[in-house]
Chain A
Amino acid sequence: MPDFLIFALLGGLGVATVAGPLGSFVVWRRMAYFGDTLAHSALLGVSIGFLLDINLNLAVIICCVGLAVSLVTLQRQRMVATDTLLGIMAHSALSLGLVAVALLEIRVDLMSYLFGDLLAVSPQDLFWIYGGGFGVLLLLKLLWQPLLAITINEELAHVEGVNVPATRLILMLLIAIVIAIAMKIVGLLLITSLLIIPAAAARRLARTPEQMAVGAGIIGCLSIIGGITLSWHFDTPAGPSVVVASLAIFIALYSLPTKQQA
């Protein structure tokens, strides 16, 4: 196997493993559109990174977190409905990013940011994916109970001593990190699919939250392998191929005869 394929596979599997559990929270807490909005701001993060000459991954994380915090603040003021607000933010952030790239005359491969460039994963990317991914998984493990508690019911969690705003903020931070590291794999337009499709597919087989989180990770990994295989044999774009593979798994699982679900 050529080097670039091994890197692609390692990078993809790393991202899918982290995206599974986090994607489960995105599904449970109905944050799909929220995740999408954060992802759309990633290009703005890239241009800010170029402008300030800092690490691009870091710039994307900072930009996503900044957007998440301002979203929560605006949401509290209830001037417009949340989905309207998300729609405004998502597309404005993407457009601002595209405009900034043009104004700053940054020479970037726009397509690779929008749709990912899995086959161009470098050892340095792997360092970011595994470093960031390990950090995310560690935090998830440490905060698993409070995260589940706020997902079940935030008031109940508060009464039982969970710091709800802090836990919620950390969840957003984790999503921002995953978006930054997953952008290389499937691109910012498709990141949400890597978060929600494997998780939604795993729901079909899971009886507990843990089963769903781990199952989503496994299904994500299978999608990566399937997508890269597809791309290798038929010369299709790698990022979209991964999404297509995960969709195939999703459809296959939901075509199974229904058993009683938990």
Chain B
Amino acid sequence: MNQHHRHEPLISLNKVNLHFGRNHVLQDISTELHKGCITTLIGPNGAGKTTLVRLILGLLKPDSGTIWQESNLRIGYMPQKLQIDKTFPLTVERFLKTAQNCSKAQMKAVLSDVGASLLLEQSIHHLSGGEMQRVLLARALLRDPHLLVLDEPVQGVDINGQLELYNLISRIRDERGCGVLMISHDLHLVMASTDHVVCINHHVCCSGHPEHVTNDPSFTELFGIKGSEQLAVYSHHHNHNHDEQGSAIPDPASDHNPRNKKGCC
């Protein structure tokens, strides 16, 4: 973490420790999140990824270490899953309004931004998994956040939908210049649209550019040779996407593929 950072940090963690009972869940975690930079948190199940995010969100307090954040930092948070009780009548419009008092035009704009413009009048209980993720993302964006925190944003979405969502997240970062922190299980899809990877297993195993991380021995140890091979294969594929008719459209993410960029994080 001693690299030179071009962007100002939004949040910085210094030697953060957290215990759950006797379980030392987070050990000496130090990392920084930057403006305009997509940071992806990866690690095996139970590695403490969600716990770390909850610390960053202020939902948990560390036992030791410090978490510094820019004053008046506005965070847009997209939870992994939002279970809304069926007894709670809620349309997408009313749901978006609970984030921020906003006009109908603003809501329509942000919904079309995330590719969900037809959902405004829909009941929240009738959305598919992918639609719900987009609505949650739209709600986070309505707050005009400095930092977008996404806990497994593509969960329950099929492969094509996952690619689309990752591209969408990259585009949002480009347009708004906000920082992004996301958790991901899945290795090969996320790598293409991320600037900085932090691989944790209770402690930070390795961190840096996706390429740097995948060549790191501790990464190979965590995810096996297969995991790193998958990533190598991936960087040669999928430079296009499909529209609803199935014809190929160029992948916007490939324009700002971190490998084409220099020195973000």
Show the binding face of A for B, using Cβ within 8 Å.
27-30, 145, 148-149, 151-153, 155-156, 158-160, 200, 203, 206-209, 211-212, 260-262
Contacts and interface: CB of A to CB of B under 8 A. Distances in A.
Contact of B123 (A27, A156, A207, A211): A207
Contact of B143 (A30, A145, A160, A206): A160
Contacts, number: 67
Given A208-B90, A208-B91, A159 B98 contact: no
Given A203-B87, A262-B89, A209 B94 contact: yes
Given A156-B82, A158-B59, A262-B90, 6 more contacts: A152-B84, A153-B79, A155-B54, A208-B91, A209-B89, A212-B89
Contacts of A212: 89
Contacts of A206: 89
A155 B75 CA distance: 13
6 contacts: A27-B87, A152-B98, A155-B57, A155-B59, A158-B57, A262-B125
B87 A200 contact: yes
B88 interface: yes
Contact of A209 (B79, B90, B143): B90
B53 to A, nearest CB: 10
B94 A155 contact: no
B58 interface: yes
Nearest to A154: B59
A211 to B, nearest CB: 7
A261 B125 contact: yes
Interface of B: 54, 57-59, 75, 77, 79, 82, 84-85, 87-91, 94-95, 98-99, 123-126, 143, 149
A261 B88 CA distance: 11
A208 B98 contact: no
A155 B149 CA distance: 13
A30 B87 CA distance: 9
B90 A30 contact: no
A262 B59 CA distance: 31
Contacts of B98: 145, 148-149, 152
Contact of B91 (A28, A148, A262): A262
A148 B96 CA distance: 12
Contacts of A158: 57-59
Contacts of B84: 152-153
A159 B75 contact: yes
A159 B88 contact: no
Contacts of A152: 82, 84, 88, 90, 95, 98
Query: 3 closest Cβ contacts across the A-B interface?
Result: A262-B123, A159-B77, A262-B89
A178 B133 CA distance: 38
Contacts of B77: 155-156, 159-160
